[in-house]
Amino acid sequence: MKQNHLVSERKLLGIAGLGWLFDAMDVGILSFIITALHVEWNLTSQQMGWIGSVNSIGMAVGALLFGLLADRVGRKYVFIITLLFFSVGSGLSALTSSLTVFLIFRFFVGMGLGGELPVASTLVSETVEPERRGRVVVLLESFWAFGWLVAALISYFIIPTYGWQIALLITALPAFYALYLRIALPDSPKYEEMAKQTRPSMLENMKSVWSKAYTRPTTMLWIVWFCVVFSYYGMFLWLPQVMVMKGFSMIKSFEYVLIMTLAQLPGYFSAAWLIEKAGRKMVLTLYLLGTAISAYFFGTAESLTLLLTAGMFLSFFNLGAWGALYAYTPEQYPTTIRGTGAGMAAAFGRIGGILGPLLVGYLVSQKVTLSIIFLIFCLAILVAVAAVFFLGTETKQKELA
């Protein structure tokens, strides 16, 4: 019986992780496509910022809408719908030749991405035993690193020779296979148990997230999500272009970002190992601090060696922190409002994802130095550290309500 449980747990991790991988491929490849479109469509830095930001606008809408739906119709069905949004939107955006149409499709891609991630972590959290829950959710998040790695490889080998359209089509097509796998996936046992009871409305669920019992964890999560998403999308969507601004060619920039991306994997795996030993709060605080320090040194780096070293540490700590955050978020709420709570926190965070790339685009156009830009992201991460430290409570191996 236990062996069957472990097999189903691995199957769930594989199917959910595959969707996570395709999401990461899309976000990762977008950072390289922005650099390619800058040349091909002669985009301004503000227009480049909007490509990243419209993705985040879609993610904010998707996280809120699909988070609410997950508590009404189930985690599984929302999981399927969100991947469909992503796959179709990504494929159609490869066929566009105007920035306006490209931005419209990127909005729908963002909706799928934003809805899928908190729902996937909620589904896995509710299915896995408490003593392994944190580790499995961080391992689920580790598929993001593999997706970024594949995106960097596709960008390096495909975009310079065959163009960005082919690269986008390559990322869209395999997602339909993940869709096929997902249909046979059962819903979480906690949701199925809850579905037999009378459930509150979506509006009541939204009110409950801010009720007295959950004000503290909700405040903490919204601050952390905003700061983490703001800094991540501000830094990582601009990473290839930052390397170009540092004086490297587009192909060399892609190569160096690929090297930095490799450091995401040990970041996830170390966080997965630590999270059931040191706890969520400690891991999240430690990895966020590492992110802040790395961001500062990356922004001020002058030599290639320091740039690559700081970039690798930035990838290591930032993605490890993401893993801990996705494990920590669903554990703050009971089953009745878990999808809503996780979705609302992620939706608020995506506002940061809208502002981050736009801010970089604006500051670059105003000739603000990269050291100042990365100092802003460093300070934002330190705010997140303070929120976790002062408002967070430990949820390690806690039975979900």
How is 268-288 classified by DSSP, letter by letter?
Answer: HHHHHHHHTTT-HHHHHHHHH
Q: What is the residue-averaged pLDDT of the chain? A: 87
18-32, 57-71, 214-228: lowest mean pLDDT where?
18-32
3-state helix, strand, coil split of the chain in percent (to 5) is: 85, 0, 15
Cα separation, 188 vs 273, in Å, equals 24
Q: Give the number of C-alpha atoms closer than 13 A to the C-alpha of residue 300, restricted to the C-beta side.
A: 9
pLDDT tens string 302-338 = 888 898 999 999 999 998 999 899 889 999 999 889 9
Cα separation, 67 vs 103, in Å, equals 23
Domain boundaries, the chain: 2-186+198-391
Instruction: Name the one residue in this structure whose structure tokens are 């070293």.
Output: 309
How distant, in Å, are the alpha carbons of 15, 17, 81 from that of 12?
A: 5, 8, 17
Backbone angles phi, psi at 392, to 5 degrees: -80, 150
pLDDT of residue 400: 67
Token pair belonging to 75: 């985690």
Greatest distance between any 2 Cα atoms in the chain: 63
Which three-class secondary structure state does DSSP give residue 248?
coil
Cα separation, 229 vs 355, in Å, equals 10
Residue type, position 91, single letter? G
Cα separation, 36 vs 58, in Å, equals 22
Instruction: Name the one residue in this structure whose structure tokens are 């163009």.
Output: 163
Judging by beta carbons within 10 Å of its beta carbon (0-12, 13-18, 19+), is residue 270 exposed, middle or buried?
A: middle
Residue type, position 207, single letter? K
Cα separation, 195 vs 193, in Å, equals 6
Torsion-angle region of residue 42: left (phi > 0), alpha (psi -120 to 50) or beta? Answer: left
Does residue 63 have a pLDDT over 50?
yes
Does residue 176 have a pLDDT over 90?
no
pLDDT of residue 6: 47
pLDDT of residue 365: 87
Task: Indicate the fold that domain 2-186+198-391 takes in CATH.
Answer: Growth Hormone; Chain: A; (1.20.1250)
Confidence tier at 19 by pLDDT (50, 70, 90): confident
pLDDT of residue 1: 41
pTM for the full model? 0.81
1-10, 129-138, 162-171, 309-318: lowest mean pLDDT where?
1-10
CA dihedral 95, 100, 102, 106 (to 10 degrees): -150
Q: What is the mean pLDDT of residues 167-194?
A: 79
Which residues neighbour 229 within 8 Å (Cβ) at sequence distance 6 or greater? 56, 349, 350, 352, 353, 356
How distant, in Å, are the alpha carbons of 232, 249, 262, 349, 362 from that of 374?
A: 11, 21, 21, 19, 14
